[in-house]
Structures are given as structure tokens and as C-alpha cells.
Structure 1
């Protein structure tokens, strides 16, 4: 592991706020770790990079996600932004009984049996997209694997689960990506205003679909959520219905898109892994788990102390705000041997914290794993001479981080 850059916490976080810092944040994570696995970033602020502390914080019931109450204290103007109102009306930014209630309404669609039943859907959609890539490559130009495969597949799958029309998938990607910048904080007001406009468009679109399901129920999650709202609005309000649909769509495709994109990038940088993905049916399981540890789609989450607690002997008074850098925890040298080396053979425990832990463990984690385990071997088998035509480019994001473009020559 390279020696961490000597930076203060203030300097390291300032660097993470730049495009250059977000393109490769890992040296900055090590600079932060040099101040301790659990470091004070000022009055009432902690930053967590250690695996054990991060895992404990994610499971501590006294450490809450940033809900409406927390937003009121930290950012009083947040209610003027429709994208933030939508997030705080969802399970993602809810605590206690509200979180359990909202999660239970959608959870049945992501049980292990339901996810296993989606395997054929994922395979069929992947094959259709690979056929499309073949047609696009016939013109002799490189094909962007992010736009044409890594993004299209998960949005098609979550669209099928929710019951959204297939013809709207490309629009979903652009709209949901614009909304997702709201999770990166409020450092770019123009981006937040674009997120609001995209959320307003999406809410109008959802309204049309909900009205359609009232007239024509179907076997999908949209019908179930609509019926729950109409039958007992106190169980699922209109704002919560819109927020739940938005989060399921955005979280259901963007993070999986980044997971698949990272898997392609790493395979093309490591020919033996690409060969094993093509030839060994069981290798994809370990490979995907190591992607999640080494290059996770979600880098950061936050918590605030709703009551006094402690983390590994460090007092965390009520009101303390914690920044949990899960991508740093996944490379904690106290828990992982040679943590900066990609090694699917490492196996065992501890597992990566890429999907969180505790009550807010990602609802769609089994589906994301399934999609990546199916998609990566299928892509590499279809195009065994796949090669990059230009370096991959990351999106200018931090909290949820992944590739924006990655043009490839299919070689077939």
C-alpha cells in the first residue's frame, strides 16, 4: 500500500470536493485514515474509515440515517427542493417504524425466491442487449459498454419488477442520474436544481402510470404499491409512494450499472480473470464479491446520533454527525491482506460493507449480485476479443461512484 499523503482532514475533504479528487479518491481515503479509523472532523463531526467502526455504526440503532428532522437542522431550505423531499419520503432516508413500514411494502419483490425467479429475465435481457451491441459494432465504431449494456440491463430489470414500459428505459437512465446528484450534498446548486426538474418530470410520469394501474392492475410492484396507497393512505402516503418509486428506480439501476461497469473494466485489465469468467461457471460469484469490496458503487453514507452512544470506546454524544466511508472500510489493512490488490481468491470474512449493514442493508443487494453474476460472463463469452478503445471515464460524483463512459471494440 502506498504511503498516505500527509493532509489534514480539512484538506482531504476539500480535495474530495474537486473533480480530480473524485476521479481517484482512494489516496485521499488513506490520508483520512492516517488521522485514525474514527477521527474528529470538528465539533460534533466524526469521520469513520475503519472496518470495525463502520460496521458497528451501520448497525447501531441509536445512529440514524439523515431523515427530515436531521435535514431541518442541517439544511433548513431543503423543503424547497423536490428531489430532497422525494428522498426523505422514502425508506432510504427514514428511521424506526417509518423505515420498517416502507421497507415491508416493497420487500416481498426482493426475497431470495423472487430474485431467483428473475434469472431467466436477466439472461434474456442480457442476450438482447448483446445482440444490439453486435449490430452497433457492425458500423465499425467502438461501442460504449456503459450506455449500451451496463446501464440498459439493470434499468430493464428493475423496470420489469416495477412494471414500467420498456420503451422509456433510456429516458429513465438520464432522469434518474440527474436526480441522484441530490445524494452528493448541496455543493453544486445548479446540479440540485437540475435534480429537482428531473424529479418533477419523474413524478408526473409516475402519476400517469399509477392512474393506469388503477384501471388495469398487473402482476408488478407498481400495482401493489398503488393498491397500498389507495387502500390505506396512512400506510403509504402520496409523497411516500412517489419517493418509494423514485428510490427503487434510481437505486435499482445506477448502482448495479456501476457494479457491472467496474467488473468489465477490471476484467479487461486482468486477462486471467476475463478468461476464468468465460470458462468457469462458478468464478463469477467470487469475482463479483471482490468488485464490491475493491471498487464499490456506493462509497459513502452518513448517520447522526439520535442518542448518546459509543463506537469502539469513542464517545458519540447525541447530535453527532458521522461520515461513514465504506469504500475506505473495505480496504482497511487491519481486516484485509493487501487491501489495494484485487484478489477474488481472498474469500471468507469479513464481507464488504458495500450494501451497508443493519436495518438499512440494501433491499436490492441479491438482485444486483444476480445481474452482475449473469451479465459479466455472458458479455465476455459473446465477445472473447473485447478490448478498450479509450480509457474509462468516471462520473464526477463521490457518494455513488462509477463509470460514465467506456468505449470498447468488440472484436467479433
Structure 2
């Protein structure tokens, strides 16, 4: 029996399974779990672009018991919505992005590195990856130091709101922190210089109430915090591992911006932080002569599609010079494509370029990397490096 659902903490190399499935069952019906699992590039692209494949509702009728603030966040996020609701939420997120300032990543990273007690060793994940991306977003929006520290220290609890299945402990944790983060974000947005213009723009286009506009803006700026924490953490972690795990001659190139940016993009293809995304069919879909029926659940294994030999030459080689690395599906495509694509690549490039410029002898202290017990994301728990 083929294993399609597993925790990344339980498997050393998921790419071996993905390779087999692309060759033998690129569109696979998992009878045991009653779900379609897509492994090939073409199959994933078809569903990502399909009007008949929706983001599944993760908390129908609030059966999980989220409190008012957490429920509001969940209901308004662009990443979790469909149809006109998604169009509006996506535009809100885009308008928020357009009003971000340009705070230097290096300054924040320098401050994080100065805090470490051991001057020669560093846990890259806990000291940098879990803090830098969300702090950059917060500072770009002008949040003060107190609020930035509070949100960055507690955002991990709120990221569990994205999980389709939550334990009671996770729900309690989400409810504990959601109200406070919501209130901080709301207070900051209302006081910001750009909010009045943003409110006017949305009202004129969609004729929605000022209360609804404020909710959409607050929830989607929180969505940017969540996205920067989980995906940003994974990008910084996995990219560093690929650079350090390969031929040491790569380290000579790691201080060149163009090469580093190419390496970040290749890392997003070769070893992405997010491995899967989910959809549900809202109508019958024919794919590879198989019929995905209305109501069927679908898992798209984007990390597998990124290693499809029919799309990428020698896909199992980490090659920053490959011409079409940017065609990876890690950020998705179409209407639900990630808005933070360019921001994430720049953040990763800036951070790793700074690391290798400031520290000339970066190396792994422990090559036995353990991963978080997640099914959709491959996130290292720790990366101990010598600097």
C-alpha cells in the first residue's frame, strides 16, 4: 500500500517516494484516506489553475471552537477564501503590501546575531529563522518595538490557525493570543498614515462597510505575519542547508548577490518549506483520464512537482544555474499564488548574503537534521552552525 499522508518528522527523504509516484501514479486515488494525491507538475498546474478546485473550508460552522478574534482572522484571510471573498481579500493584501516601507533586513539580522550568548556557535532556526521574517514585516509597517517583540514572540501560536485539523490544546493556544494580536494590529492600522486612503479605495470599488474594510485589513496584515513566520522560516532554513550541504566550492560564490538570489530560487524548487496544499472539487474534473468528482478532496504535492523530470532537467541536482528554476510551484500559481514571492526571495537573499559576508567560515555542526511533525511543511527544528 502506498503511503500518501505522513509527517515530515517520520521520513528521512520524502523525495524518493515522490519520484516513484511521478513515474507510476502521478494522479493517485488514496482509497484508504478517500483523497486524490497529485504528484506530477502538469497535474498540479491543472488544479491550481482550475475554477473547479477551491480552497477547502477548514472550520465549518466553527466546529473547532475558535473565539471571535480567531474566527474573524480565519474567515477573512485571502489564503483561505474563494470567489469574490478571495478577490477582495487578495486586493486588500496587495494594497497592504504596496504600503510597506523598505527597512533594511541586515540591521534586524545584526541585532538578532548580537543577542546570542555563544559567539562562535548559532542555532540558525531559533535565533534567526523564527524571528527575522516576521520582524522585517512588522518594521516595514512601522510597528513599535514593544508590539513587534510581542507579536514576534507569540506568532507561532497563531500559525496553527491554518491547520485543517487542530487539537484542543492548539485551539486553546490560538484563542489565547488571537485577541491581543488582533487589537495591536487594529490599533496600529487605524493610526497609520495610509489607512484612510486604503479605506477610501476599497469602499469606492466594493461598496463594503468601513467595519468590514477594517476587519479585512487587520486580518490580512496578520495573515502576512503568519505567512512570513512559517514560510519565511522554512526558506531561510532550507536554503542554508542546501548551500552548506553541497560542494564547499559553493561557499566561494555565496558572497555574490546574483548567485545567492539564484540559489534561493533553486532552493525553493529543490527543497521547499511547503510541500503540499489542499483543494476540494466543486465540480467534476477530468485529469489524466481520471475523473475527480464534485466534493472529492485533493492534495497537491508541490514539492514532488518541483522534482518532475518532465519539467526540470536533472531535477535531483541542486543547480542555481538551471534556466527554468523560477517555474517551481512552491508559491503556487494563479489566483491563489503567493503575494509575498518577491519579498521572500529578497529577504532570503539579503539574510544569507549578510551571513556569508560577515562570517567567513560558516559550517554545519550537526548534519542530522530533525524536522517538525507536520504533514504539509518540511521545517527543520534546529540547525546548529559554527560561525
Q: TM-score range by the shorter chain?
A: 0.7 to 0.9
Q: Name the counterpart of 2:356.
A: 380
Q: 2:83 aligns with which of 91, 96, 102?
A: 96
| 1:218 aligned onto 2:197 | no
The whole-number CA distance in structure 1 between the counterparts of 2:192 and 2:42 is 44
TM-score, normalised to structure 2's length? 0.86
The 5-angstrom pairing of residues 125-204 of structure 1 reads 125-130=108-113, 132=114, 136-138=117-119, 142-169=121-148, 171-186=150-165, 189-190=167-168, 193-204=169-180
RMSD, aligned CA: 3.1
Any idea what the Cα deviations from partners look like across 1:167-213, whole Å, max 9, x if unmatched? 45454345332333444442x625xx324423431322321442455
The whole-number CA distance in structure 2 between the counterparts of 1:313 and 1:350 is 29
The whole-number CA distance in structure 2 between the counterparts of 1:47 and 1:101 is 30
Any idea what the Cα deviations from partners look like across 1:147-180, whole Å, max 9, x if unmatched? 2222322111111234433345454345332333
Q: Name the counterpart of 1:3.
A: none
1:284/1:373 contact within 8 Å kept? yes
SS in 2 for 1:160: helix
2:30/2:37 contact within 8 Å kept? yes
Q: Name the counterpart of 1:329.
A: 305
Q: 1:37 aligns with which of 26, 45, 61?
A: 26
The 5-angstrom pairing of residues 201-350 of structure 1 reads 201-211=177-187, 213-214=189-190, 217-219=191-193, 232-233=209-210, 235-236=212-213, 238=215, 240-241=216-217, 243-270=219-246, 271-278=248-255, 280-348=256-324
Any idea what the Cα deviations from partners look like across 1:345-395, whole Å, max 9, x if unmatched? 212267100001110000111110110111111101100111222234322
Q: Name the counterpart of 1:54.
A: 44
SS in 1 for 2:278: strand
The whole-number CA distance in structure 2 between the counterparts of 1:209 and 1:321 is 34
Q: 1:268 to 1:58 in 2, by over 3 A?
A: same
SS in 2 for 1:393: coil
Q: Name the counterpart of 1:395.
A: 372
Q: Name the counterpart of 1:106.
A: 93
Q: 1:209 to 1:37 in 2, by over 3 A?
A: closer
Q: 1:58 to 1:209 in 2, by over 3 A?
A: closer
Any idea what the Cα deviations from partners look like across 1:228-264, whole Å, max 9, x if unmatched? 79x82464374x4554233211102321121111121
Q: 1:404 to 1:28 in 2, by over 3 A?
A: same
Q: 1:86 aligns with which of 45, 56, 73?
A: 73
1:33/1:50 contact within 8 Å kept? yes
Structure 2: segments with no counterpart, 5+ residues: none
SS in 1 for 2:224: helix
Q: 1:310 to 1:63 in 2, by over 3 A?
A: same
Q: 1:367 aligns with which of 343, 360, 366?
A: 343
Runs of at least 4 residues off by over 4 Å:
82-85, 168-171, 220-229
Q: 1:292 to 1:208 in 2, by over 3 A?
A: closer
The 5-angstrom pairing of residues 5-16 of structure 1 reads 8-9=1-2, 12-13=3-4, 16=6
Structure 1: segments with no counterpart, 5+ residues: 1-7
The whole-number CA distance in structure 2 between the counterparts of 1:79 and 1:402 is 25
